[in-house]
A and B are shown apart, each in its own frame.
Chain A
Amino acid sequence: MRKSSQILSIILILLIISGVALGAYFYQKNLPLLWVFGIAIGFVFYRSGICFSTAFSDIVIFRNFRMFRTSLILLLVSFLGFNIVQLYSNISNGSIPGYIFPVGLHTAIGGILFGMGMVLAGACVCGTLQKLSEGFLLFWFVLSGVVIGSLLGAYHYPWWEVSYLSWEPVFLPNIFGWRVSWLLTVIILVGVFGGTFLLERRK
């Protein structure tokens, strides 16, 4: 890419960014903040080269857990922060925010399908958005696949929920209590983190 066209496209991108921010502000006051969050996430994503599908495929291909551990760091940081927010929210008004959804056979099938799909496509869904904007024409097809797949999935969901085992959402602190649940999660995450080093050494 030539230098002049590069600068031109950066200016264009910045113009679009501020235009959308302005439009979003008039639509709903808190959207521009979300927009900034998205831009920051995208920037960090590309710079650090994090890819969740590589995290799993590297383990199989050459028993390398580097990216897997990266995902664990992301998970652990999110967990520690989320836990404080949930606890605070629970004490102040009794509600528990977060992604707490039903679990059942459909979760397992969904996991397997998603895992196979992300290796076949070469990126998970946010990786698809990332590689699309890097200039990979291929990922436009992946994205259309995701749109079609999520329509099919939404259409079939009631069938899965009714025909196969599905339980109500399970919030772990309701079973183990806040402290034990916190401790268990941290022990498992840190344990897996440490365990990957052992698995790597025994090559």
Chain B
Amino acid sequence: MAKERLDVLGEVCPIPLLMTQGVLAKLKNIDVLIVETDSNQAARNIFNWCESCGFKFEIDDLENGIWEITIKKE
């Protein structure tokens, strides 16, 4: 299983979502993408997108102001 990390710390909407979309579209061979963001709105934004696309995903609230979103490509 190919894993990739995407660090969008310090970025605000809509850039985290656009980066996530772009990376997923560009790197076709990865199965799991872990997105790190420190904005709760960006986390919910990516959450909404994953939900509307039907991806499997998990959100970890690391409780220090960082959210880790694990997106699994089917």
Contact = CB atoms under 8 A, between A and B. Distances in A.
Touching chains A and B, CB distance < 8 Å: yes
Interface of A: 1, 46, 49, 51, 53-54, 57-58, 61-62, 64, 66-67, 119, 122-123, 131, 134-136, 138
A1 B48 CA distance: 28
Interface of B: 10, 12-15, 17-18, 21, 39-41, 44-45, 48-49, 52-53, 64-65
Contacts of A53: 13-14
A138 B41 contact: no
Contact of A119 (B14, B49, B52, B53): B14
B35 to A, nearest CB: 15
B71 to A, nearest CB: 14
A135 B39 CA distance: 10
Contacts of B48: 58, 64, 66-67
A164 B21 CA distance: 42
Contacts, number: 52
A62 B49 contact: yes
A109 B14 CA distance: 23
Given A1-B65, A54-B14, A136-B12, 13 more contacts: A49-B40, A51-B13, A51-B41, A53-B13, A54-B45, A58-B14, A61-B18, A62-B49, A64-B49, A122-B12, A123-B13, A134-B65, A136-B10
B44 A49 contact: yes
A66 B41 CA distance: 13
Contacts of B18: 61
B55 to A, nearest CB: 12
A54 B13 CA distance: 7
Contacts of B39: 131, 134, 136
A58 B51 CA distance: 13
Nearest to A137: B10
Contacts of A131: 12, 39
Nearest to B40: A49
A67 B44 CA distance: 11
Contacts of B45: 54, 58
